[in-house]
Amino acid sequence: MTENARVKALEQIMPATHGADEDIDWQTAEAVWGTRFPSDFVAFMGRFGAGSINGEAGILLPLPKPGLQWDPAEMAEETANARQAWEAGGGRAAFDVDPESIIAWGVTAGSDILCWLTTDPDPDRWPVLVIGRHTAEAFAVYPYGMAEFLLRMCSDEFDVSPVGITFWDAGHLSFVHWRKAQRRWQEGRNPETGEPDPYAGEFAG
């Protein structure tokens, strides 16, 4: 597993207790996407994997995987949604970039899409692009990588939230890997908290 200082710092405020190594075939992922990925994202996938933060934000898989109960969210679908939102929001007249340079890596419960702007040839220099639904700007670029952006947002370091929701709760941050969340659901427990949930597992096969 690749170590990354920003991911380690993030783990100090959001334990990886319920995370898992996603075991990504990075050679295949790079072939599919036509690019290398930022080192912090690679490290995040190795320590946390894909999953949810406080049930309010989701980190996406770079390649599709079959789910235990439903297919987990992955980058291709949300990247398509992000590029469609860019076009619907005015395209180049509103935000002058090549839509092919937009790749989604996360989403929020407020319908924000968290992306990279991949115009730099060095993936470790890709800034975060937030395509927001209830934000001050529909398209906002932040000069941080994915892990530092999450660290700053989870630490409430922005004067104005870059997304349309708040997913920190009195300093308590919880990450739950998608596979663990689906197991909890099948067992009749809340996917995020693990507490008994009378509605969970209703459609489990």
Q: In what order do the strands lie in the sheet with 102-108?
A: 139-142, 128-131, 113-117, 102-108, 57-59, 51-53, 175-177
- Give the model confidence (pLDDT) of 40-53 as tens digits: 999 999 999 999 99
* Ordered structural domains, the chain, with CATH: 5-186 (3.40.1580)
- Give the model confidence (pLDDT) of 126-173 as tens digits: 999 999 988 889 999 999 999 999 999 888 888 888 998 775 554 678
Q: What's the rounded Cα separation, in Å, for the pair 144 and 152?
A: 9
Percent of the chain beyond pLDDT 70? 94
The DSSP output letter for 93 is: G
pTM of this prediction exceeds 0.85:
yes
Amino acid at 194: G
- For the ranges 66-75, 95-104, 109-118, 141-150, the lowest mean pLDDT is seen at 66-75
